Structure 1
Amino acid sequence: MKKVAMLLIAVVLMTGCKQTSKNQASDMGNQAVDPAQQTSISFTEDHHDFGKVTDGEIVSYSYKFKNTGDKPLIISDVHASCGCTTPNWARDPIAPGQEGEIDVKFNSEGRVGMQEKLITVTANTNPVQTELHLFGEVVAK
Structure 2
Amino acid sequence: MRKIVYLGLACAAFFMVSCKENASSKIKASNIESAKERDAKISLGGAIIDFDKREYDFGSVTEGDVVEGIFVISNKGKADLIILDAKASCGCTVPEWPKEAIKPGDSAELKFSFNSRGRSGKQSKSITLQTNSEKATEILRISGTVIKKS
TM-score after normalising by structure 2: 0.69
Deviation at 1:83, TM superposition (A): 0.5
Aligned twin of 2:16: none
SS at match of 1:62: strand
Q: Mapping of 1:118-137 within 5 angstroms?
A: 118-137=126-145
Q: Does 1:114 align with 2:114?
A: no
Q: Does 1:56 align with 2:61?
A: no
The one-character-per-residue Cα deviations of 1:90-131 (angstroms, maximum 9, x if unpaired) are 200010000001001000000111000011111001210111
**CA distance in structure 2 between the partners assigned to 1:51 and 1:93 by the alignment:** 32
**CA distance in structure 2 between the partners assigned to 1:40 and 1:79 by the alignment:** 20
Question: 1:97 is matched by which residue type in structure 2?
Answer: G
Runs of 4+ in 1 over 4 A off after TM superposition: 34-37
Aligned twin of 2:147: 139
Q: How many residues matched?
A: 108
Question: 1:59 is matched by which residue type in structure 2?
Answer: V
TM-score after normalising by structure 1: 0.74
Aligned twin of 2:112: 104
Q: Does 1:69 align with 2:77?
A: yes
Q: Mapping of 1:7-26 within 5 angstroms?
A: none
**CA distance in structure 2 between the partners assigned to 1:100 and 1:90 by the alignment:** 7
**CA distance in structure 2 between the partners assigned to 1:100 and 1:92 by the alignment:** 10
Deviation at 1:39, TM superposition (A): 1.0
**CA distance in structure 1 between the partners assigned to 2:88 and 2:118 by the alignment:** 17
Q: Which has the higher helix share?
A: 2
**CA distance in structure 1 between the partners assigned to 2:105 and 2:122 by the alignment:** 37
SS at match of 1:39: coil
**CA distance in structure 2 between the partners assigned to 1:63 and 1:75 by the alignment:** 13
Deviation at 1:65, TM superposition (A): 1.4
Percent sequence identity is 39
**CA distance in structure 2 between the partners assigned to 1:45 and 1:110 by the alignment:** 28
Q: Note the aligned Cα RMSD (angstroms).
A: 1.2
**CA distance in structure 1 between the partners assigned to 2:144 and 2:98 by the alignment:** 26
**CA distance in structure 2 between the partners assigned to 1:126 and 1:136 by the alignment:** 31
* Structure with greater contact order relative to length (CA < 8 Å, sep ≥ 6): 1
